């Protein structure tokens, strides 16, 4: 356990080295919410977002999820760099078991996402309280945080798996770009699912429906705004996503660092 | 006396340096495609019918034109990062030792910074023009030339910030915040009339608003809600002149003497 804590501590120290990036990203997320979503609120058809009170409130949980996703994804970039520069050899020389190292890295990625997302989640809670008068119960809050944690760990695992799949930085960045933007824009973060069904081909609708970002955003919306309907499959989706990518990343990490 | 040959040599060097950003260019291209093919198409269906009436075309066309300007802006500001890279590796001292005056150096960098992003954005710009169509070639040429000035102005702006701050961390955060605000507080994503009054005040004088509305006008999208072309051209010329001038003055004064962090 102590070894895992050391790994976590190291990754958190690295994360806060990017404090300028963090501030920049936070300001971008807040600008998306308080400028972009405010303007779109006046432009969006009322029938599309009336169940959520307004587009602004519809978007608020979404921005929390995108911020969480972006921060949890950062660990992959670091691991790709470590492999290319062979820092992983140094890591192997540490008195830490391979599985502890791998588990610590995946967990660190997830926890960093949670830490970064916290101010945005608080902002979301505040705006839903002010404009919709809703305050989630402690149990509901626990479910939201747990769901966010699952997304964060799954995203961390996904980004590590992606980072380990190639030693070429260009290929990694390209793959990351595709995954990143498909998951971002093919989700219910920016628009409800029925709209995606109207516009996009079936393949994109399936991605959007089972996309963990969609499940996380809709789950948070249900507990904060009462819509869309909560389905247990959302939680199952997140659990499978987190478990699958966390295990895959751990397995790949343990294999790759030994090469 | 400024030698155009020297200016061109500096610009050419910056064009070559741009290729080192391969991965960022790939990311930007993917971002552009996702914005157009996913976000643009879906949001187009989400909006009230009166939005389309007011902007004089589909929201998709309006948005695609705006995204090109966002892309042009975000690739042009890379020039500031180049300056920090050079400071980091001691290349600035080498550049200062060349038989090129400071004025030629900064002018060349502004032109190179603008030109390289224009070359990069061109295929996507042509794609957007193919989607929207060009109804009046003369109008389009006027807009096209103004966009060149806009790109040079953005390069000058980025150089001005870089040499004023001399700290890569502070530059990074400032540019991140400016980027977050300048794009969202402009008409690249939505028309001015739908912005609350307190945002509209800023958006009205934003160079991205001038560039986006002028590009739309050049592509034949004409609507009362867009900034008038004369005002947009004037705004872009002012933006270009101010930041090229500031860039030259600050570059001359602050480039020497170290102090880069």
pLDDT band with cut points at 50, 70 and 90 for residue A34: very high
Q: Do A20 and B194 touch (CB under 8 A)?
A: no
Average pLDDT value for chain A: 91
Interaxial angle between packed helices A212-225 and A169-185, expressed in degrees from 0 to 180 and rounded to the nearest 10: 40
DSSP A208-235: HHH-HHHHHHHHHHHHHH--S---HHHH
Question: Residue B199, SS3?
Answer: helix
Spell out the long-range contacts of B96-102 with Cβ–Cβ below 8 A and sequence spacing 24 or more: B96/B255, B96/B256, B99/B6, B100/B6, B100/B9, B100/B10, B101/B2, B101/B3, B101/B6, B102/B248, B102/B251, B102/B252, B102/B255
Task: Give the C-alpha separation, A252 to A141, whole Å.
Answer: 33
Tell me which chain A residues have a C-beta less than 8 angstroms from the C-beta of B30: 174, 177-178, 181
Q: Do B194 and A42 touch (CB under 8 A)?
A: yes
Assess B170–A contact: CB distance below 8 Å, yes or no: yes
Tell me which chain B residues have a C-beta less than 8 angstroms from the C-beta of A31: 180-181, 184
Residue of A nearest to B167 (CA): A20
Tell me which chain A residues have a C-beta less than 8 angstroms from the C-beta of B31: 177, 181
Q: Which secondary-structure segment (H or E) carries B239? A: helix B229-254
Average pLDDT value for chain B: 88
Q: Half-sphere exposure (CA, 13 Å, Cβ side) for B145?
A: 9
Residue of B nearest to A22 (CA): B173
Q: Report CA dihedral (A117, A121, A122, A124) to the nearest 10 degrees.
A: 140
A100 CA: distance to closest CA in chain B (Å): 32
Question: What pLDDT was estimated at residue A81?
Answer: 84
Which of A19, A154, A48, A172 minimizes the C-alpha distance to B27?
A: A172
Residue of A nearest to B179 (CA): A28
Tell me which chain A residues have a C-beta less than 8 angstroms from the C-beta of B23: 169-170, 173-174
Q: Nearest CB to A44: which of B47, B195, B199?
A: B47
Q: Do A43 and B51 touch (CB under 8 A)?
A: yes
Tell me which chain B residues have a C-beta less than 8 angstroms from the C-beta of A190: 39, 42-43
Tell me which chain A residues have a C-beta less than 8 angstroms from the C-beta of B173: 20, 23-24
Range of the domain at B252: 4-258
Assess B199–A contact: CB distance below 8 Å, yes or no: yes
A168 CA: distance to closest CA in chain B (Å): 10
Question: Residue B177, SS3?
Answer: helix
Give the count of Cβ contacts less than 8 A between chain A and B.
113
Interface ipTM: 0.87
Question: What pLDDT was estimated at residue B257?
Answer: 67
Q: Do A35 and B185 touch (CB under 8 A)?
A: yes
Task: Give the C-alpha separation, B12 to A135, whole Å.
Answer: 59
Residue A56 has pLDDT above 80, yes or no: yes
B101 CA: distance to closest CA in chain A (Å): 34
Residue of A nearest to B22 (CA): A170
Task: Give the C-alpha separation, A123 to B206, whole Å.
Answer: 28
pLDDT tens column, A112-125: 999 999 999 999 99
pLDDT band with cut points at 50, 70 and 90 for residue A212: very high
Assess A178–B contact: CB distance below 8 Å, yes or no: yes
Q: Which of B28, B184, B187, B199 to mutate against chain A (most A CBs within 10 Å)?
A: B184
Q: Do A196 and B42 touch (CB under 8 A)?
A: yes
Question: Residue A189, SS3?
Answer: coil
Question: What pLDDT was estimated at residue B260?
Answer: 67
Assess B43–A contact: CB distance below 8 Å, yes or no: yes
pTM over the 0.90 mark? no
Q: How many separate domains does chain B show?
A: 1
Task: Give the C-alpha separation, B207 to B151, whole Å.
Answer: 10
From first to last of its 261 residues, what are the pLDDT tens digits of chain B?
788 899 899 888 888 888 777 777 888 888 899 899 999 999 999 999 999 999 989 999 999 999 999 999 988 988 888 888 787 788 888 888 889 888 888 888 888 888 888 888 999 999 999 998 888 889 999 999 999 999 989 988 998 888 888 777 778 778 878 888 999 999 999 999 999 999 999 999 999 999 999 999 999 888 878 889 999 999 999 999 998 888 878 877 777 766 666
């Amino acid at each position: 356990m102590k070894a895992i804590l050391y790994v976590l501590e190291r990754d958190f120290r690295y994360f806060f080295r990017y404090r300028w990036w963090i501030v920049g990203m936070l300001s971008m997320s807040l600008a998306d919410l308080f400028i972009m979503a405010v303007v779109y609120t006046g432009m969006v058809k009322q029938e599309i977002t009336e169940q959520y009170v307004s587009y602004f409130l519809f978007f608020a949980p979404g921005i929390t999820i995108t911020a969480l996703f972006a921060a949890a994804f950062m660990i992959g970039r670091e691991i790709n760099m470590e492999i290319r520069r062979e820092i992983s050899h140094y890591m192997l020389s540490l008195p830490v078991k391979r599985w502890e190292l791998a588990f610590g890295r995946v967990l660190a990625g997830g926890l960093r996402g949670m830490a970064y997302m916290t101010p945005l989640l608080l902002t979301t809670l505040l705006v839903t309280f002010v404009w919709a008068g809703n305050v989630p119960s402690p149990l509901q809050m626990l479910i939201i945080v747990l769901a966010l944690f699952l997304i964060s760990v799954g995203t961390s695992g996904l980004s590590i798996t992606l980072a380990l799949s190639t030693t070429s930085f260009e290929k990694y960045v390209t793959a990351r770009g595709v995954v990143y933007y498909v998951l971002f824009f093919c989700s219910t973060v920016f628009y409800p699912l029925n709209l995606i069904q109207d516009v996009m081909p079936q393949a994109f609708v399936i991605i959007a429906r089972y996309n963990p970002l969609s499940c996380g955003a809709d789950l948070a919306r249900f507990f904060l705004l009462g819509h869309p309907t909560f389905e247990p499959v959302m939680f199952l989706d997140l659990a499978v996503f987190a478990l699958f990518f966390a295990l895959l990343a751990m397995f790949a990490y343990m294999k790759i660092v030994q090469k | 006396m400024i030698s155009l040959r020297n200016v061109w040599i500096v610009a050419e060097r910056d064009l070559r340096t741009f290729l080192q950003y391969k991965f960022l260019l790939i990311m930007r291209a993917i971002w552009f495609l996702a914005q157009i093919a996913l976000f643009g198409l879906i949001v187009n269906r989400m909006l009230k019918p009166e939005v389309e009436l007011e902007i004089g075309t589909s929201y998709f066309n309006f948005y695609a034109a705006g995204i090109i300007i966002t892309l042009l802006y975000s690739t042009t500001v890379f020039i500031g990062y180049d300056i920090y890279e050079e400071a980091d590796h001691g290349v600035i001292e080498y550049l200062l030792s060349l038989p090129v005056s400071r004025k030629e150096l900064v002018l060349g960098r502004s032109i190179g910074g603008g030109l390289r992003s224009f070359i990069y954005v061109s295929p996507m710009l042509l794609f957007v023009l193919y989607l929207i169509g060009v109804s009046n070639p003369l109008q389009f040429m006027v807009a096209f030339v103004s966009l060149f000035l806009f790109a040079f102005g953005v390069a000058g702006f980025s150089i001005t910030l870089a040499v004023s701050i001399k700290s890569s961390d502070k530059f990074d955060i400032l540019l991140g915040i400016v980027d977050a605000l300048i794009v969202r507080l402009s008409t690249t994503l939505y028309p001015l009339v739908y912005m609350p009054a307190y945002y509209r005040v800023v958006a009205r004088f934003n160079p991205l608003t001038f560039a986006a509305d002028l590009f739309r006008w050049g592509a034949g999208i004409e609507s009362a809600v867009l900034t008038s072309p004369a005002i947009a051209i004037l705004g872009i010329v002012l933006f270009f002149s101010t930041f090229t001038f500031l860039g030259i003055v600050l570059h001359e004064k602050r480039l020497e003497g170290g102090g880069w962090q």
